[in-house]
Every structure is written in structure tokens, then in C-alpha cells.
Amino acid sequence: MCTCIDFQTKDHYFGRNLDLEYRFNEKVVITPRNYRFELKNGSAIHTKYAMIGMASVRDRYPLYAEATNEKGLSMAGLYFPKNAHFCCQNKDRFNLCPYELIPYFLGLYAKIADFRDILSRLNIADTPLAEDLPVAELHWMISDGTECIILEQMEDGLKIYDNPVGILTNNPPFSYHLANLNNYMNLTPCCPENRFSDRLDLQQYGMGMGAIGLPGDTSPASRFVRASFAKFNSVCEEDEESSVTQFFHILDSVSVVKGTSLTKDGLDDLTTYSCCINATRGIYYYKTYNNSQITALRMTDREKCRKTLCIHELIDTQQIRYLN
């Protein structure tokens, strides 16, 4: 499971927790300009814009979990099991496979408005990249700093939602998560008032009591509410260090600790990595479950113009600074 966040201070930030019971050989990958992607619909593209994000690489093909391009357009795929429904190639629609969405849209476009017409005729096809790579059941959040949208293709077709919250988790469909926020409109970061009864002398006995009822479990619906509450009530300075620090604190509020969420097979579902991308400047920050130190990678001019992918191995062992 996962949580994705869109965040704005002076710059635009985009990122996520990736929660899984396994690793997928993920690395920070920069795809340069003019990089060729062959599509399963029989066509091919050469990227206009470079992009940076977390991906596994198969035969020089980056399978991005999330990425941002050099214009600040950002996109992430999140697990959407049983609800996601992908179809066979449809000659009457514009066909893209799930793993093609990020390289296609980020490789060619700077703003959501630039490809709205394509979304209106899009069919997300179920063709795998290779026979041993099943198609992942996903939905997507896309943001350019001014607009944020959600793509969900289910049995009744492709849904495109405007996302005023700038949050996405997993099941149920996005429309449920938006409606569910109404159940928590009474929550506040402020000290609560006694509305129970004016005949009882009820007193606050600790901080945070205005948010009693905020869900604390790691289910997708609860993480959506908790991340939304943290984001919309967060107070943050405008500088880079403060913005990145606050972004990771919001992600930490919905991270999954090893041992607290088990699959049916008894495997640990946990936050394998968290990332924060300064989409305005093209800086990718990350930390892993095993290394809580923040590591940063920039999308440099040299890497934007090279001929091949630039692949950075993760620093996945704890970095401790000893002072004596």
C-alpha cells in the first residue's frame, strides 16, 4: 500500500511512501531527453523532457513508481487491487499500458492541460512488458503545481477526478475518500471546547484532544484522512530545508512500521522508502526503512542530455553520526 502527497510552499513538492512486503530492485533513475520508449500500441516516442524518480529497470526500460520531469509535472502509481480493470488494446481508443503512463506523459508534456484531450480517449491496456512481469493493478495521481488529478480505470471505464486534497492512498475508489472526509470535519488542532453539556465541568487534560477520533490504523482510508489532516494543518517555513523536513514529517505520520501490518501470507507490509521531490528544481530526496538519513539527487544538465539512463543505487544502510 502507499500514500502520495502534493505539497506547496515557495516551491512545489510531490512524493510518497511506498509500502510493500517486498523490494523490487528499486533505484533512483534519471531518464534523459530524447530517450526512446517503444510502446505496446506499435508506436514509439522520444522524450522531450528528462525525468527523475524511483524505478526498477528492465532491458533499459525504467518501470517508474513515481517521477517528476524537468518542467515540474509529477506522477505516481499506487496499488489499486481488484478495483483496477485494464482492457485489451482497443483500436478506437488511445492505448497505453500502466507502465507506459509515467514515461509517456512526463516525457512529452509540461502541464496537465496539455494532455487533457488524450485522457478523454485513453484506454489503459493490459499488455505486460514481458511474460514474467504481470501488469500491476494501479491508479495514479498527477500534479503540475496548479492542477492535481486522479486516474482510475475500473470495469465501468476510466474516471478522471480533480483532486483538491492532493492526497492519494489505495482502495476504495477516490470518490469514497473524498466523501469520507466529511466524517472528520469536526477535528481540529486547537484546544477543544466543551460541547458535550453545559451542565458538566469537562476540562481538557492534554494536548491534541481536538483531534480525538483521527484514525490511527494503517488502512488506506485511515491513512488518507490522517495525511490530509497533517497536510492541511501543517505550518511550514518557505525555505528548502524546512519544506523538505515538513514533507517527510507528513509522510512519517502515515508510515507503516515493520510488524504492524501483515499480509495473508504473514509477510510484513512496511514503508520500504519515502521520497520528496522538489518538482520546481528537480531534486529527488529519499530515505529508506533501513536508512532514515535523507539522501538527495539533482537532475543536472549533464544527466538531462546524456544518451543513456543514469541509475543511482540506494543507500540502504543506516547512517549514524557518532559525536564521541
Characterize the bridge pairing of strands 94-96 and 122-124: parallel
Q: Determine the pLDDT at residue 287.
A: 98
Tens digit of pLDDT for each residue in 39-61? 999 999 999 999 999 999 999 99
pLDDT in tens, 141-165: 999 999 999 999 999 999 999 999 9
Between CA 205 and CA 212 the distance in angstroms is 13
Average pLDDT (227-232) is: 98
Is 2 known to be catalytic? yes
Summary mean pLDDT of the chain: 96
Please, what are the domains in the chain?
2-172+237-312 (3.60.60.10)
Cα separation of 106 and 277, whole Å? 14
HSE-up of 70 (CA within 13 Å, CB side)? Answer: 18
Q: What pTM was estimated for this model as a whole?
A: 0.95
Condensed to tens digits (0 to 9), the pLDDT of residues 63-84 reads: 999 999 999 999 999 999 999 9
Report how far residue 168's alpha carbon sits from residue 308's, in angstroms, rounded to the nearest whole number.
32
Q: Which residue, chain included where needed, has cell 499500458?
A: 97
Where residue 1 falls among pLDDT bands split at 50, 70, 90? confident
Grid coordinates representing 181 are 472526509
Contacts for 96 with CB less than 8 Å, ≥ 6 apart: 39, 41, 104, 122, 123, 124, 125
> Residue 167: what pLDDT?
98
Q: Residue 84's CB: how many other CB atoms inside 10 A?
A: 22
How large a percentage of the chain has pLDDT more than 90?
96
Q: What is the reported pLDDT for 258?
A: 96
pLDDT score recorded for residue 92: 87
Taking 90 as the threshold, does the pLDDT of residue 136 lie above it? yes
Q: How confident is the model over 165-192, as a mean pLDDT?
A: 97
Q: What is the pLDDT of residues 259-272, one digit of tens each?
A: 999 999 999 999 99
Q: pLDDT tens, 27-41? A: 999 999 999 999 999
The catalytically annotated residue of 2, 97, 275, 310 is 2
Alpha carbon distance 219, 212 (integer Å): 18
With 90 as the cut, is the pLDDT of residue 131 above it?
A: no
